[in-house]
Structure 1
Amino acid sequence: MASLLFRLGRFSFRHKWWVIAAWVAAMVLVVSLVSALQPKFSKDFELPGTDSGDAMTTMQQYFPAANEEQEQSSTSILVQAPDGLAEHTAEIDKLVTSLKQLPDLRDAASIVNPLSVPGEASAQVLSEDGKVGLIQVKQTTEVMDLEITDKEAFVDIITEHRVGGLNVEATGSLMSVAEDGGTAEMLGFGVAFIVMIVFFGALVAALIPLITGVFAVVITIMLLTLGTEFLDINESATGIVTMLGIAVSIDYALFIVSRYRSEVARGGSREDAVGRAVGTAGSAVVFAGLTVIIAVVALMVIGLPFVTQMGAGAGIAVGLAVLAAITFIPALLGAFGRFAFTPKIPWIKHAEDSEDTDTNGVRFGRAIVSKPIPFIIAGLALLIVAAIPMSKMELGMSTTTQDENKALALLAEGFGKGINGPLLVTVRNADGDVSAAADKAVAHIKTLDDVANARTLSWVGNGTDPKNPNAGADTALISIIPNSGPSDQETHELMEQIRDYKNEVSAAGGTMHVGGLTAILSDMSDKLDKALIPYLIVVVGLAFLIMVGVFRSLWVPLIGTIGFIFSVVAAFGATVAVFQEGWFGLIDDTMPLLSFLPIFLIGVVFGLAMDYQVFMLTRVREEYIHGMTAKEAIIAGYRHGARVVSSAALIMISVFAAFMLAPDTTSKMLGFAMAIAVFFDAIIIRMIVVPAVIALLGDRAWGLPKWLDKLVVDFDIEGGAVRNNGLENLPGDETSPAKAGAPA
């Protein structure tokens, strides 16, 4: 492995312009294809193989008009006045007039003042106390085609009509349009650039990782976008790709460039220095990247399409980051040549590695090696305290943005929490008339406690007569409004109560399924819960085997894995404290943790944890097998690795934390959770607890039982085969000779 990477790094350095041109051509090609084809991401949340997925398939086939309507824009406007809406008829009429000017309205006549709706129908648009009204705006525009300008124009309308004590809020399609992105990414890049300037003490070297990061992420996003031409890819896949792609690209580049600087200082040609850097640090990058790829791609075991897509996209991003680190970075170093570490910034201390200077990392390493037990206790105690709020953790799914929270509160106040999350029940009789089965289903559902529209509940058939669609229908659709909210446990119980009646409906000749977005999200949470243990077994098992091969040790992978458990549990606790319990006032509206957050955080953070394990401890093992004692090797690891790992972690934390500026809740929560998880794992576990435990173990930490040692392949991740390539004949060189047969 080391010899192969040595040759690859040196080849990329020698043929720098060809390699750079290849990367530029790849980016231009994918960007051009996306520009020409204009592919679109999906926003579907269907779950094949689930009851809700079967219900939505039935709707698509037998109620195409209703299914098409669901894909088109639908926005609910809530009007509210403490003194009653009757006192604000004129203001509401003006609002209705303005709303009728919106483009692509399906039926402008349906946009009416809720005070003007007669009879029983008024209960659907006017609250019992007359203080809250509902106005529905439906457009023929597909939700995916809505743009930020549509939202801005709509928001201007409702803002203009908040006059005379009338409160106007909205929720739905127009309010859920994502704002233009880029702020979080730019902030993350900015912080990363500053950290790398401090790390290298030079501007050019700090710029190189950013270049490779941009290329890897842009190419990945463009490839995913192109994939929508052939596959149904959810737009949620792009968020994690951007977050993870930027972070690991910069981290891996940082590791290679810092090792290159050390190798240049040792002497020999820059070409050989690049080869040695890629052959040593590059080996660690390859295996670190492999653990991350395993962790994110293994998300496919969950069986949720959008999660599989997120994992696959993240895996591609990490793979490109590794490829860029071992080819693009050497080419850029060759292009900049002797100017790679210029201009130097004189007031930044310890910007370069030194074998005789006591850096803060070295002093900290000595402190841990001399008294490891207090550091172990303090580090684990901090994580245990952070984990305490996890005992209150609640999971849920929400597709709304913070802009909609006020409208949702008014909706719940006036019409109940469930009106915005109906359950859609389908009943089908493949042999003919569905009436008996549908009537039986409706009669039973009316008796259930949590049904808000029991009095008016009925079914609609797919018959050919528009005036009487139930005549001759073989499929029925029932819309049920729960009293409780979409993410409430009571709604989930109602859904299961309806499903429990399947056998009785089947006896009447019908097949029943419960669908709708609420049911889909509930089924999604259920699948995530069931997949957690198999996922952990796959990810931890495969990564553990890789780590055994990397470190040729059982103790080091075991310690790292146990440490990860502490860090991820602490991350859960901190996320619950901030987002669910509202600590520190970082968010305005508290919410349950997203249902897919635990399993996704476990996957991503485990991969990143093994990254830092590899970055920190490969140098420790390298020094140990070349003659240092176990404790001396740990100190040497701090000398060469502490600055790299701490800088890489700070960059990763900054990139993730910047996503708290994103407008959508998913990005905010994922960004915070991953940022705090990286802090706990990289700083507390990898930089403090793991080295302290290894210091206690001493020589026992390194090595395998004889029987296992014969079975494990020697990947030479320390780069012993190339450690001194190009240095053999230098005058005054005191390093050990290169191994026979190593490439020159």
Structure 2
Amino acid sequence: MAKLLYRLGFWSASNRVKVILGSIAILLISAIVALSMGPKLHEGTTIPGLESIKTMEQMYQEFPSIVDNSGKIQLVMKSLTDETLSSDTTKQLIGAQLEEVAKDPAVTAVVSPYDNHSVSADGKIGYATISYNTPGSDVTETSKERVLDVAGILRDAGLQAELTGSGYVKMEIGGVTEGIGVLIALLVLTVAFGSVLTGILPILTAVIGLGTGVMLIIIGSNFFDTPSFALSLASMIGLAVGIDYALFIISRYRQQLAEGYERKEAIAIANGTAGSAVVFAGITVIIGLAGMSVIGIPFLTAMGLAAALCIFVAVLIAIFMVPAILEAMGGLIKAKSKKSSKGSTRNKKNETRGNLWGSFVTGRPWLAVILGVALLGTIAIPFFNMETGTMDDAQKSPELTERRAYDLMTEAYGVGYHSPLVILAETDGGQDAAANLSGALEQLRTYPNIGTIAPAVPGPSGKISLINVIPATGPADNKTVDLVKQIRSQAAEIESQNHVKLKVTGSTAVNIDISQKLNEALPEFCIIIVGLAFVLLVMVFRSILVPIKAVLGFILSLGATLGFITFVIQDGHLQNVFHFNGQAPILNFLPIMVVGILFGLAMDYEVFLVSRMREEFKKSGDAKKSVLAGIHHSGGVVTAAGLIMISVFTGFMLAEDPNIRVMSFALLFGVLFDAFVVRMLIVPGVMTLLGKSAWYLPKWLDRLLPNLDVEGEEVMKAVEKKQLRLVRDPKTNLSTELLK
């Protein structure tokens, strides 16, 4: 693979104009196609086959009128004066403004708080529902502005007016906050390269790759069921790794220039060495993301494949376009500063100063390992109490109108209003059916945590009735989960006593079932990922102990990540520091997502750091010296790569949507723990303690394993041989001969 990438790097550099224009053309074509087709994204997270999903399908068959995919906006109002919403003056004001909203051609129905009987017991709060002729995601900005204008008029008249609903609130797909993360990444790159111009290159190529990947996802959403947050996740990961991959190749290119190689030769070598590591790193991330499909949950599969597509494009951009741009920039990209190699005292001091961290870790390996393990182990403790669920507007900023609408509804109808349950009651339709149903309802009312139970609504068949239940607790409360479990566990007894079959569905029950299914799938997914990581690393490093150490480090960083987000998000600590707006369960698909993504990123850092150690060990046979060399040559790049990841995720953390914020928060600290504690502290310490035994591999296994040559060792051997030929025969063209 390394030789192939070497040739590819030389070809891209030689055909720089074609490669650059071709890459831009692909981006523009995909953008034109994507924008003409438009995104077909949804915000659902359902899993076919769940009990609640099957019950919901049965409910839709019996009550087809319930199926309504039209977008809706709820205009929630509260009287801030002595008057109630039912006073004549307020009634006339609200009625007149709702008539204005109804004039919108996109509006199909407007139901006032007086018609839907939503006015609260004290008469202060109620809401109107506005229905549109399109799905919520397609409600136009013009329609929203019309409702916002009405809300402004109501506020001026002494009412609090807030908006929520599928027609108004949508998950963010992108925004200006990501730019902040990119600016921080540019600062990191500028410091790492010592040049603003050089620092811009990784961001430029990453943006082109991300743009192409996102456009392809939008096109794909027209053919495949794609959740909207899949695009957000793909954007986060694609941008971060795109910058990192370009960073690795450009850093190696500057090193080769410093070694005295001609520009095209340096580009080709960088693509053959660092490019090999980039390809392997990209493959591991893609495997981790695509591995989410083995769980058999459609929305997770879509998320993983969408993000994997962005990673694939980022790898292609790195190995095709980066070499072309490096050649196009000519002498503007300078070699890495290198002191005289004559062994001066000053040079030796500079080398020592540049590897102080390596000297500390290798000089006190036990301290480094114990300190790192103790730190991450302590942070991981809250993980054992982690509870998963969904997030809603309660976790949004109070500055947003949808959060204020949520609070008004909680004030008016109780927190259980946001966690409704729907019970499908099936009888035999006989003469005693009504009495049996009444008996079942009476038994339901005896259960703890029941708020209100609406009268049963009979269906056309006469055998199935619909019962709406409002719990006394919210959707994130364990008591709501317990209520669903109790209804299901007592269903057999109720059927035996009252001859009524009870089944629970509704959005709350569906979310509970999804969370349970994801929790059950997590251990299996972890075993698959950890096993895969071990096999891949055995092939890469041709060692047994190094992969074991890498896998244990991954498990440690994963535990710390999940523990820390539990500590902050679920337990409510440090929320002011990270600007979260309330306690919530951990997003149900987050643990699996973190496992898949963190696996790939952890292997990235492991490969870039330890491969350099292996390269040095094969030359010198000195284990400690190889650890020092790995930290000296790759430690700075891994540090910069980690900081870039953190910068990008920080930008996404500034988004308003709580789902995106929590995802980016988890990935931010996942990278922080893995790159800076595991890879830069624990790994060098363990490698020092293991010594030469770290590189042991049975001979029979060595013969069976394929030689992946991630370090580009074969390329460097070939280059050295050609250099010797060049000395003997000045007419030899080194680059041309290598290409042959």
Category of TM-score, reference length = shorter chain? 0.7 to 0.9
- CA offset digits 1:439-498 (Å, max 9, x no partner): 8567524522244332x421242x3xxxxxxxx457654433333222322322333344
Residue 525 of structure 1: CA displacement?
0.2
Residue 55 of structure 1: CA displacement?
2.9
Query: Where does residue 418 of structure 2 map in the other structure?
Result: 420
Matched, 1:692 2:685: yes
| Structure-2-length-normalised TM-score | 0.88
- Stretches of structure 2 that go unaligned for 5 or more consecutive residues are 342-346, 728-733
Question: Aligned partner of 2:416: which letter?
Answer: G
Matched, 1:489 2:478: yes
Question: Aligned partner of 2:30: which letter?
Answer: V
Percent of paired sites with the same residue? 36
Matched, 1:126 2:120: yes
Which whole-Å CA distance do the structure 2 matches of 1:300 and 1:61 have between them? 30
Matched, 1:528 2:524: no
Which whole-Å CA distance do the structure 1 matches of 2:259 and 2:166 have between them? 61
Residue 10 of structure 1: CA displacement?
1.7
2:253 pairs, out of 244, 260, 263, with 260
- CA offset digits 1:228-249 (Å, max 9, x no partner): 2212211111111000000111
- Maintained 8 Å contact 2:71/2:139: no
Residue 101 of structure 1: CA displacement?
2.2
Query: Where does residue 111 of structure 1 map in the other structure?
Result: 112
1:173 pairs, out of 166, 169, 190, with 166
More divergent stretch after superposition (225-234 vs 96-105): 96-105
Which whole-Å CA distance do the structure 1 matches of 2:221 and 2:647 have between them? 30
Residue 410 of structure 2 aligns to a residue whose secondary structure is: helix
Question: Aligned partner of 1:494: which letter?
Answer: L
Question: Aligned partner of 1:13: which letter?
Answer: A
- CA offset digits 1:120-163 (Å, max 9, x no partner): x85x5322x44444444444442121245554554454355346
More divergent stretch after superposition (443-452 vs 683-692): 443-452
Which whole-Å CA distance do the structure 2 matches of 1:325 and 1:368 have between them? 32
Which whole-Å CA distance do the structure 2 matches of 1:353 and 1:473 have between them? 89
Which whole-Å CA distance do the structure 2 matches of 1:97 and 1:167 have between them? 17
Matched, 1:381 2:343: no
Which whole-Å CA distance do the structure 1 matches of 2:407 and 2:431 have between them? 38
Matched, 1:58 2:58: yes
CA 312–726 in structure 1, closer or farther in 2 if over 3 Å, else same: same
Question: Aligned partner of 2:72: which letter?
Answer: S
Which whole-Å CA distance do the structure 1 matches of 2:690 and 2:249 have between them? 30
| Structure-1-length-normalised TM-score | 0.87
Residue 582 of structure 2 aligns to a residue whose secondary structure is: coil
Residue 297 of structure 1 aligns to a residue whose secondary structure is: helix
- Maintained 8 Å contact 2:533/2:551: no
- Maintained 8 Å contact 1:388/1:573: yes
Query: Where does residue 346 of structure 1 map in the other structure?
Result: none
- Maintained 8 Å contact 1:642/1:687: yes
More divergent stretch after superposition (539-548 vs 386-395): 386-395
Which whole-Å CA distance do the structure 2 matches of 1:659 and 1:577 have between them? 20
Which whole-Å CA distance do the structure 1 matches of 2:631 and 2:135 have between them? 56
Residue 164 of structure 2 aligns to a residue whose secondary structure is: strand
Which whole-Å CA distance do the structure 2 matches of 1:39 and 1:219 have between them? 14
- Maintained 8 Å contact 1:81/1:132: no
Residue 60 of structure 1: CA displacement?
4.7
The 5 A counterparts of 1:214-293 are 214-293=207-286
Which whole-Å CA distance do the structure 1 matches of 2:280 and 2:543 have between them? 15
- Maintained 8 Å contact 2:229/2:660: no
The 5 A counterparts of 1:438-453 are 440=436, 443-448=439-444, 449=447, 450-453=449-452
Residue 176 of structure 1 aligns to a residue whose secondary structure is: coil
Which whole-Å CA distance do the structure 2 matches of 1:409 and 1:707 have between them? 67
Residue 46 of structure 1 aligns to a residue whose secondary structure is: coil
- CA offset digits 1:571-624 (Å, max 9, x no partner): 223323333314151223332221222221122112111111111111111111
Query: Where does residue 72 of structure 1 map in the other structure?
Result: 71
The 5 A counterparts of 1:128-167 are 129-147=122-140, 150-151=143-144, 153-162=146-155, 166-167=159-160
More divergent stretch after superposition (416-425 vs 370-379): 416-425
Residue 217 of structure 2 aligns to a residue whose secondary structure is: helix
Query: Where does residue 730 of structure 2 map in the other structure?
Result: none
Residue 481 of structure 1 aligns to a residue whose secondary structure is: strand
- Maintained 8 Å contact 2:245/2:315: yes
Residue 74 of structure 1: CA displacement?
4.2
Residue 524 of structure 1: CA displacement?
1.0
- Maintained 8 Å contact 2:74/2:127: no
Residue 692 of structure 1: CA displacement?
0.9
Residue 549 of structure 1: CA displacement?
0.6
More divergent stretch after superposition (476-485 vs 153-162): 153-162
Residue 76 of structure 2 aligns to a residue whose secondary structure is: strand
Query: Where does residue 406 of structure 2 map in the other structure?
Result: 408
- Maintained 8 Å contact 1:457/1:480: no
Residue 605 of structure 2 aligns to a residue whose secondary structure is: helix
Residue 230 of structure 1 aligns to a residue whose secondary structure is: coil
Query: Where does residue 466 of structure 1 map in the other structure?
Result: none
Residue 260 of structure 1: CA displacement?
1.1
- Maintained 8 Å contact 2:84/2:124: yes
- CA offset digits 1:367-417 (Å, max 9, x no partner): 211121222222223323433444553322024344333333332332122
Which whole-Å CA distance do the structure 2 matches of 1:233 and 1:477 have between them? 31
Residue 715 of structure 1 aligns to a residue whose secondary structure is: coil
Residue 453 of structure 1 aligns to a residue whose secondary structure is: strand
How many equivalent residue pairs? Answer: 710
Which whole-Å CA distance do the structure 2 matches of 1:705 and 1:712 have between them? 11
Which whole-Å CA distance do the structure 2 matches of 1:353 and 1:313 have between them? 45
Query: Where does residue 206 of structure 2 map in the other structure?
Result: 213
Which whole-Å CA distance do the structure 2 matches of 1:82 and 1:582 have between them? 37
Which whole-Å CA distance do the structure 2 matches of 1:252 and 1:32 have between them? 27
CA 368–591 in structure 1, closer or farther in 2 if over 3 Å, else same: same
Query: Where does residue 347 of structure 1 map in the other structure?
Result: none
Which whole-Å CA distance do the structure 2 matches of 1:635 and 1:206 have between them? 27
Residue 332 of structure 1: CA displacement?
1.5
Matched, 1:44 2:66: no
Question: Aligned partner of 1:9: which letter?
Answer: G
CA 364–45 in structure 1, closer or farther in 2 if over 3 Å, else same: closer
- Maintained 8 Å contact 2:627/2:688: yes
Which whole-Å CA distance do the structure 2 matches of 1:236 and 1:223 have between them? 15
Query: Where does residue 598 of structure 2 map in the other structure?
Result: 605
- Maintained 8 Å contact 1:91/1:163: no
CA 725–428 in structure 1, closer or farther in 2 if over 3 Å, else same: farther
- Maintained 8 Å contact 1:45/1:517: no
Matched, 1:553 2:543: yes
CA 723–111 in structure 1, closer or farther in 2 if over 3 Å, else same: same
Residue 664 of structure 1: CA displacement?
0.3
- CA offset digits 1:52-71 (Å, max 9, x no partner): 22233335555443112x54
Question: Aligned partner of 1:294: which letter?
Answer: I
1:480 pairs, out of 453, 466, 469, with 469
Cα RMSD for the two superposed structures? 3.2
Query: Where does residue 583 of structure 1 map in the other structure?
Result: 574
- Maintained 8 Å contact 1:95/1:161: yes
Question: Aligned partner of 1:408: which letter?
Answer: Y
Question: Aligned partner of 2:89: which letter?
Answer: A
CA 11–374 in structure 1, closer or farther in 2 if over 3 Å, else same: same
Residue 492 of structure 1 aligns to a residue whose secondary structure is: helix
Query: Where does residue 362 of structure 2 map in the other structure?
Result: 369
- Maintained 8 Å contact 1:146/1:177: no
Residue 424 of structure 1 aligns to a residue whose secondary structure is: strand
1:204 pairs, out of 197, 203, 213, with 197
CA 352–238 in structure 1, closer or farther in 2 if over 3 Å, else same: farther
Question: Aligned partner of 1:394: which letter?
Answer: E
Residue 198 of structure 1: CA displacement?
1.3
Query: Where does residue 696 of structure 2 map in the other structure?
Result: 703
